[in-house]
């Protein structure tokens, strides 16, 4: 991490996420807020360590309680003139869209870059293989897409400049293979201030109050900004055409990680189709694209996940080259991450080269190694108590995202539904209302603060009686042990049981399941027979944060 603070220029091997942090530091970032989520988690971890060391001088950082709050904190900082970075994984953006849309209308005061990390192939995500791109169409927010760590750093710096010039927040969209890619990155000189950061909020209802009729004017102003940014995008070197040496009638349009696989494929077959590499996903440099496709017979769109770019190119081709054959998802799958061999195969087909995917067959089957709760994890005691207290066949188990989603794997097998953070109670309430079947909903402590509380209040308000077990392991474990409001060492004075009681829950108990197995078992039995909602707070720290 010290490498990220090196004031002098040089070359260092950096992870994509480290390069993002370096880019922000070189830009003089003043305010950073985030909620953890892989593949974006290292960004928060790095700033957490940096600011802890420097005691808040020169830079403010926080892990917010969820992404919406992180976004709003960042909005407040930007409105007060600070240079702001907000980071999250793709699902986090869903949580804060409500704030994001009016934020883009209002625009920034302090330049603001929002990092959103997608995870094609769901290497470290459950839920869905979400593609962040269409948020651009919904929110009219510019999106830049780096291919490698060097670009991560450069695009963050440029992102701040664009944001400053056009007074608009910018999204930088990474994917797992970009965020968790390493390469030598050129570091520029960096000045770091030791001053305490002080911004100033200057009242300006025209910018900060999004009421009609003004809000429609703001929309008009936003669309005008986008037109200007589009002409910036037309001229930007981020969207670059790499000309071919031969008389090819076939071209390739690509971006992000797919660009690297495209380069590899062209080198492999020694063909030099012209390539248009897009650094902007939105607004697209439409004139540049039209110019690029003009003389072509075919264009291959090397695009990961859904064909958003392909559709745009098809639309533009109607205006500039209606005979053009646009090839995308016909050749490259829209499920799972892009892989170099997919591009090899497509490039080979188009260039008439031979390529057959090598197939090695193994006589033995590769054993599947599923992740497991760590040995010594306090959750094992929760599992054993539940198994002793109830017949698992007769109870529905609601799961969620966190280490405890591993309850679904054998030999535990205690998970009958699993969706997103904060959902186990809400869905459990619906099942209870619909069926009356016995139900236990699990939720982690970080998830409880993230988005659990409204659902808990709903069970009281609308009177259902699930048993909720809040797994208070005093950390956000799954994403790398980030702090939260009641994590180890916290000075908030908040107690989950007090919150639960204040929500109107009468049956509530805090139990350490590792030392009080009997009490845990008896309470589960007792609470499951109640007519109103009940909550057990199973309190024991994760073994990685427990004080030794």
Partner 1 sequence: MMVTGTGGQGLITILQIISEAAMIEGYDIKTSELHGLSQRGGSVEVYIRFGKKVYSPLIPQGKADLIMGLEAQEALKGVYFANPKTTFLINENIIPIPLKKPLTKNEISNSLKKISKNVFMIPAKEICREKLGTEVVAGTYLLSWAVFKKIIPLEALSVLKALKKVIPPKHLELNIKTFELAKE
Ligand X SMILES: Cc1ncc(C[n+]2csc(CCOP(=O)(O)OP(=O)(O)O)c2C)c(N)n1
Residue 374 found at the interface with ligand SF4 (CB under 6 A):
yes
Q: How far is the CB of 132 from partner 1 (least distance, A)?
A: 18
Residue 279 found at the interface with ligand X (CB under 6 A):
no
Q: How far is the CB of 457 from ligand X (least distance, A)?
A: 18
CA atoms of 197 and 31, how far apart (whole Å): 8
Q: Which range binds ligand X by CB under 6 A, 231-239, 291-299, 328-336, 438-446?
A: 438-446
| End-to-end C-alpha distance for the chain, whole angstroms | 25
Residue in 22, 68, 83, 89 binding ligand X, rule: CB under 6 A: 89
Other residues' Cβ atoms within 10 Å of the Cβ of residue 230: 17
Name the residue nearer to ligand X (CB basis): 213 or 375.
375
Residue 326 found at the interface with ligand SF4 (CB under 6 A):
no
Residue 414 found at the interface with ligand SF4 (CB under 6 A):
no
Residue 403 found at the interface with ligand SF4 (CB under 6 A):
yes
CA atoms of 433 and 70, how far apart (whole Å): 34
Name the residue nearer to ligand X (CB basis): 153 or 481.
481
Residue 488 found at the interface with ligand SF4 (CB under 6 A):
no
Residue in 200, 368, 547, 548 binding partner 1, rule: CB under 8 A: 368
Residue 406 found at the interface with partner 1 (CB under 8 A):
yes
Residue in 197, 287, 331, 373 binding ligand SF4, rule: CB under 6 A: 373
Sorted by sequence, the CB contacts under 8 Å of residue 194 that are 6+ apart come out as 57, 58
Q: Which range binds ligand X by CB under 6 A, 147-155, 244-252, 398-406, 430-438?
A: 398-406
Q: Which range binds ligand X by CB under 6 A, 8-16, 107-115, 396-404, 496-504?
A: 396-404
What are the tokens at 515? 């030392």
Q: Which range binds ligand SF4 by CB under 6 A, 35-43, 205-213, 283-291, 537-545?
A: 537-545
What is the per-residue burial (b if ≥16 Cβ within 10 Å, else e) of 70-96?
bbbbbbebbbbbbbbbbbbbbbbbbbb
Residue 473 found at the interface with ligand X (CB under 6 A):
yes
Residue 377 found at the interface with ligand SF4 (CB under 6 A):
yes
The answer to whether the bond into 213 is cis (omega within 30° of 0) is yes
Q: Which range binds partner 1 by CB under 8 A, 77-85, 155-163, 340-348, 378-386?
A: 340-348
Cα separation values, 187 from 11, 40, 153, 182, Å: 6, 21, 9, 14
Residue in 214, 438, 495, 543 binding ligand SF4, rule: CB under 6 A: 543
What is the footprint of partner 1 within residues 475-504 (CB under 8 A)?
Answer: 478-480
Q: Which residues pair with 252 in a beta bridge?
A: 275, 300
Residue in 33, 175, 479, 507 binding ligand X, rule: CB under 6 A: 479
Residue 411 found at the interface with partner 1 (CB under 8 A):
yes
Minimal CA–CA distance to 123: which of 173, 66, 175, 86? 175
Q: What is the DSSP string of 81-132?
A: T--EEEEEEHHHHHHHHHHHHHHHHH--SS-EEEEEEE-TT-TT--S-----
Q: Are 222 and 101 in contact (CB under 8 A)?
A: no
CA atoms of 208 and 76, how far apart (whole Å): 10
Q: Which residues pair with 34 in a beta bridge?
A: 63, 87
Cα separation values, 546 from 439, 481, 515, Å: 30, 11, 15
Name the residue nearer to ligand SF4 (CB basis): 197 or 373.
373
CB under 5 to 8 A by kind: which of partner 1, ligand SF4, ligand X, none does 177 bind? partner 1
CB under 5 to 8 A by kind: which of ligand SF4, partner 1, ligand X, none does 543 bind? ligand SF4
Residue nearest to ligand X (CB): 444
What are the tokens at 169? 């927040």
- Phi/psi at 202 (5° precision): -105, 125
Q: How far is the CB of 540 from ligand SF4 (least distance, A)?
A: 10
Minimal CA–CA distance to 281: which of 169, 173, 166? 173
Residue in 403, 441, 468, 470 binding ligand X, rule: CB under 6 A: 403
What are the tokens at 474? 């005093």
Residue 307 found at the interface with partner 1 (CB under 8 A):
no
CA atoms of 385 and 400, how far apart (whole Å): 19
The footprint of partner 1 (CB under 8 A) covers 11, 13, 15, 38-39, 41-42, 123-125, 148, 176-177, 180-184, 260-261, 263-264, 267-268, 339-341, 344, 357-358, 360, 362-364, 366-374, 403, 406, 410-411, 478-480
The footprint of ligand X (CB under 6 A) covers 35-37, 67, 89, 91-92, 95, 401-404, 421, 444-447, 471, 473, 475-479
């Amino acid at each position: 991490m010290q490498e990220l603070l090196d004031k002098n220029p040089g070359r260092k091997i950096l992870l994509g996420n480290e390069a993002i942090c370096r880019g922000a530091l070189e830009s003089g970032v003043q305010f950073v807020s985030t909620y953890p989520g892989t593949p974006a988690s290292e960004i928060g971890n790095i700033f957490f360590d940096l600011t802890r060391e420097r005691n808040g001088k020169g830079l403010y950082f926080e892990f917010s309680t969820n992404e919406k709050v992180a976004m709003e904190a960042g909005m407040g900082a930007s409105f007060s003139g600070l240079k702001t970075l907000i980071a999250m994984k793709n699902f986090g953006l869903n949580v804060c869209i409500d704030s994001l849309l009016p934020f883009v209308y209002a625009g920034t005061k302090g330049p603001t870059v929002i990092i959103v990390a997608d995870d094609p192939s769901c290497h470290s995500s459950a839920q869905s293989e979400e593609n962040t791109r269409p948020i651009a169409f919904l929110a009219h927010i510019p999106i830049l897409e780096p291919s490698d760590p060097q670009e991560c750093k450069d695009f963050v710096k440029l992102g701040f400049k664009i944001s400053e010039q056009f007074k608009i927040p910018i999204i930088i969209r990474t994917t797992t293979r970009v965020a968790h890619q390493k390469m030598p990155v050129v570091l520029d000189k960096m000045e770091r201030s030791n001053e305490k950061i002080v911004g100033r909020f200057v009242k300006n209802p025209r910018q900060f109050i999004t009421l009609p009729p003004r809000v429609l004017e703001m929309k008009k102003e936003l669309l005008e900004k986008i037109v200007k940014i589009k002409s910036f995008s037309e001229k930007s070197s981020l969207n670059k055409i790499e000309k071919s040496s031969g008389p090819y009638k076939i071209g390739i349009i690509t971006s992000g990680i797919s660009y690297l696989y495209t380069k590899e494929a062209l080198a492999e077959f020694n063909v030099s189709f012209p390539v248009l590499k897009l650094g902007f996903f939105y607004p697209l440099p439409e004139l540049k694209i039209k110019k690029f496709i003009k003389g072509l017979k075919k264009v291959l769109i090397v695009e990961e996940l859904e064909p958003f770019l392909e559709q745009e190119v098809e639309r533009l081709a109607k205006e500039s080259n209606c005979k053009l054959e646009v090839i995308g998802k016909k050749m490259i799958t829209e499920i799972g991450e892009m892989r170099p061999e997919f591009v090899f195969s497509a490039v080979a087909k188009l260039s008439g080269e031979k390529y057959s995917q090598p197939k090695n067959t193994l006589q033995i089957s590769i054993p599947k190694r599923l992740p497991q709760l760590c040995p010594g994890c306090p959750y094992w005691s929760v599992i054993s108590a539940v198994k002793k207290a109830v017949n698992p066949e007769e109870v529905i188990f609601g799961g969620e995202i966190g280490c405890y989603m591993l309850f679904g794997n054998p030999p535990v097998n205690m998970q009958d539904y699993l969706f997103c953070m904060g959902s186990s109670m809400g869905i459990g309430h619906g099942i209870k209302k619909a069926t009356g079947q016995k139900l236990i909903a699990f939720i982690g402590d970080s998830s409880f603060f993230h988005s659990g509380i409204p659902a808990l209040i709903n069970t009281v308000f609308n009177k259902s009686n699930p048993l909720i077990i809040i797994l208070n392991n005093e950390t956000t474990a799954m994403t790398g042990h980030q702090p939260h409001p009641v994590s180890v060492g916290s000075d908030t004075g908040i107690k989950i049981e007090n919150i639960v009681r204040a929500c109107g829950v009468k049956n509530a108990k805090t139990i350490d399941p590792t030392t009080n197995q009997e009490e845990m078992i008896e309470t589960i039995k007792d609470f499951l027979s109640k007519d109103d909602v009940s909550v057990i707070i199973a309190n024991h720290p994760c073994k990685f944060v427990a004080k030794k």
